[in-house]
Amino acid sequence: MGQCLFCQTEIREVLTLQELFDFGKKDRGTVCRTCEGKLPRLTGQTCCSGCMRPQESTNLCEDCRRWSSCYPELKIAHHACYAYTGAVKDWLQRYKFQGDYRLSAAFTNDLQAFRREHPKALFLPLPISIASYEERGFNQCEEMLKRAGIRYVQFLGNQHAGEKQSEKNRQERLLTTQPFSLLVGHEKYLKQEIILFDDVYTTGRTLYHAKSLLYKQGFRSVRSITIAR
Ligand SMILES: [Zn+2]
Ligand SMILES: [Zn+2]
C-alpha cells in the first residue's frame, strides 16, 4: 500500500471488516497506524472554544477574548486538528518549506472527515502572497484539498507583496495589515456556508482578517479549520 509519509516504513495493514466496509470513504495507506497514533490530536482535549488551545476549561483564552472585543460581530470559533509540535511541525517543514509535494496527502482523512461534517459548505483555501507562490511553486492548502478530492472555491486575493508570515515574530504578526481582497465573482457565494482553510493557526491574525472582510461583504456563515495550531 506504499510507504508511510512520516516514517517511510512500508504499510502492510490488515484491515478489519469495518475498515474494509469504510474503504471507499477513507484514503488509507498514507500514514501508518503507529505514526497516526502518535499524532498530537486536539479533538477530545479540553481546549479554548475559540481556537482549540489546550487549557483547563473551554472558556475563551486571553487571545480569543481580545479577538472577541476587536470583532464583536464575529463568532469566535476555530477548528484545529493537531498541536503544532513534533511530527506535525516536521511535516510542515518538509512539505511547505522544503517543497516535498507527496506530503500534501498526509491529512486527507481529517479534511474528508470535516467535509462530511459540513456537507453543504464550500472550502476556501487562504491564498498566499505572490512572493510565496513564486518561491514555493504551489499553494500548500489548495494542493491538500486537491489531493483529498475536495472541491473548493477561491475568491480572495492576497495583496501582500513580499513579507512572509513564517518569518515574523508574534508581535509583528499581530500588526500585519489586511492582506486580502475580494475577487470578482464572490457575490454568487454570498448565501453559502464558507470554510476557510489554512495550514497553521498561530495568532489568528490572518484568519480574522479574512473573516472580517467576508463579514463586511455580507457573508454570514464562515467557519475555519487548520491542520495545526
Ligand atoms: Zn509511519
Ligand atoms: Zn483561544
pLDDT value at 148 more than 70: yes
Question: What percentage of the chain reaches a pLDDT higher than 70?
Answer: 91
Where in the chain is CATH 3.40.50?
Answer: 45-228
Give residue 173's pLDDT: 86
* Dist. CA 56 → ligand 1 center (Å): 31
Q: What is the mean pLDDT of the chain?
A: 91
**From ligand 2's centre to the CA of 64, what distance in Å?**
4
Contact indicator for 6, 106 with CB cutoff of 8 Å: yes
Ligand 1 mean position to 123 CA, how many Å?
A: 28
- Rounded mean pLDDT of 32-52? 94
129 CA → ligand 2 middle, Å: 26
C-alpha 207/C-alpha 217 separation (Å) is 16
- Hey, what's the cell of 133? 507562490
Structure pTM? 0.90
Q: For residue range 115-133, what is the model confidence (pLDDT) as tens digits?
A: 999 999 999 999 998 888 8
For helices 108-117 and 140-147, what crossing angle results, to 10°? Answer: 80
Ligand 2 ion: nearby residues, β-carbon < 5 Å: 48, 50-51, 53, 61, 64
Cell numbers representing residue 205 in the block: 491574525
What is d(CA 124, CA 183) in angstroms, rounded to the nearest whole number?
Answer: 13
Read off φ and ψ for residue 115, nearest 5 degrees. Answer: -55, -45
- Give me the amino acid identity at 13: E
| pLDDT over 90, % of the chain | 73
Q: Are 16 and 28 in contact (CB under 8 A)?
A: no
Pick the CATH number of 45-228 from 3.40.50, 3.10.450, 3.30.1370, 2.60.40: 3.40.50
